[in-house]
Amino acid sequence: MNDPLGPLCSIGELARRTGLTVKAIRFYSDRGIVPPTGRSPAGYRLYGADALARLDLVRTLRELGVGLPDIRKVVARELSLSEVAAAHADALAVQIRTLRLRHAVLTAVARRDSDPEEMDLMHRLARLSEDERRRLIDDFLDSVFTGSAGSAGSGAFVGIRRSLTPELPDNPEPEQIAAWVELAELSQDGEFRALVRRLVEHLAAEQEGAHGGGPRPGLVPTVRELVGPVLAAGIEPGDGAAAPVVEALLAHDVHVLTRLEAVNDPRRERYTELLAVINGWPAPESVAPVLDWAVEALRVREPVGGVPGASDVPSRP
């Protein structure tokens, strides 16, 4: 009867074979998860071969975090193992996402030496649900597009809005979460919203065509094409050789300096960098060097106030 290879074994032998303590087996037995098959003449519990398999299953499920109520249903065949596994896989996914969010927030705080108020804001932004995240971004984009010059429902505006929309994936990487937190924080800046609003109106005008004259070449591609070669050649913005480039820029748009100062705002470029990380797009090429050159060349060519549309916005740091 006490032969470990026999049909029944004592609770002590079962403990030795499973590696569990007698106390643990008695606990599961008392709760009906691993009931004894019978009793010895002295009244001790005896277990059959199925008890070994049940205890192995119980230990595995417990290590995976499955609670006793669900384990009892599995061994009683009230729930299939696949149903329990699916439910707990979903629960673990939520826990993993929560840990990733916490990791992203703590990492950002460590890098930025944030104060308690900023840390609290970042933590709240990171914990937003998918619907809450969408509402936050929709509020930002609505403030940028609603009432803008032209029709907010036009093809140009729809395409621009789509290109500015972050889409955090269901299982984001830590860097995507950190980028989302920073982008969400940036989107709440009133000055940044006004900046993006101006840029959107300029871009839509280029795409739809000024005064019905057909689409104009984009300002940034134009600057890259004109300035790239002279920048690579080492020509300084104040050199005489820069004059033809400045004339070409002014021919593109009489208000080119004002527009370039807006486009050259570091927050705009940071938004595009964060957007690429969140959406899994290739990292955008920085246009800051050509924009810096163009802005300085235009200011050298015409002092502030000398060109229609010129402004006193400080140069890019």
Give the model's pLDDT for residue 118: 75
Does residue 15 carry a pLDDT above 60?
yes
Give the model's pLDDT for residue 286: 94
Mean pLDDT of 25-52: 89
Q: Which amino acid is residue 153, in one-letter code?
A: G
Return the structure tokens found at 174: 């830590």
- Helices 256-263, 219-232: crossing angle, 10 deg rounding: 90
**pLDDT per position as a tens digit, 282-294:** 999 999 999 999 9
Q: Which residue has the higher pLDDT, 299 or 301?
A: 299
| Residues above pLDDT 70, as percent of the chain | 84
**Residue 288: which region, alpha, beta or left (left: phi > 0; alpha: psi -120 to 50)?**
alpha
Most confident of 184-193, 250-259, 305-314: 184-193
pTM for the whole structure: 0.62
The four Cα atoms 224, 229, 235, 236 give a dihedral, to 10 degrees, of 0
Give the model's pLDDT for residue 57: 84
Give the model's pLDDT for residue 232: 95
Q: Whole-angstrom Cα distance, residue 25 to residue 33? A: 9
Q: Which residue has the higher pLDDT, 307 or 9?
A: 9
Does residue 7 carry a pLDDT above 80?
no
- Cβ-contact 219, 263 below 8 angstroms: yes
Residue 312 banded pLDDT, cuts 50, 70, 90? very low
**pLDDT per position as a tens digit, 119-147:** 777 777 777 777 888 899 999 999 998 86
Mean pLDDT of 245-255: 90
The neighbouring-strand residues paired with 38 are: 46
**pLDDT per position as a tens digit, 71-113:** 888 888 877 768 767 777 777 777 787 777 777 767 766 777 7
Give the model's pLDDT for residue 302: 66
**pLDDT per position as a tens digit, 46-71:** 998 888 888 888 888 888 778 888 88
Return the structure tokens found at 155: 């093809």
Give the chain's mean pLDDT: 82
Helices (H), the chain: 11-18, 22-30, 49-63, 68-75, 81-112, 116-126, 130-145, 155-163, 174-187, 190-208, 219-232, 243-252, 256-263, 266-279, 288-301
Residue with tokens 């795409």: 207
Q: Which of 23-27, 36-40, 132-136, 173-177 has the lowest mean pLDDT?
A: 173-177
Q: Whole-angstrom Cα distance, residue 36 to residue 8? A: 10
Q: Whole-angstrom Cα distance, residue 240 to residue 292? A: 18
Give the model's pLDDT for residue 181: 84
Q: Which residue has the higher pLDDT, 51 or 205?
A: 51
173, exposed or middle or buried, with CB in 10 Å at 0-12, 13-18, 19+?
middle
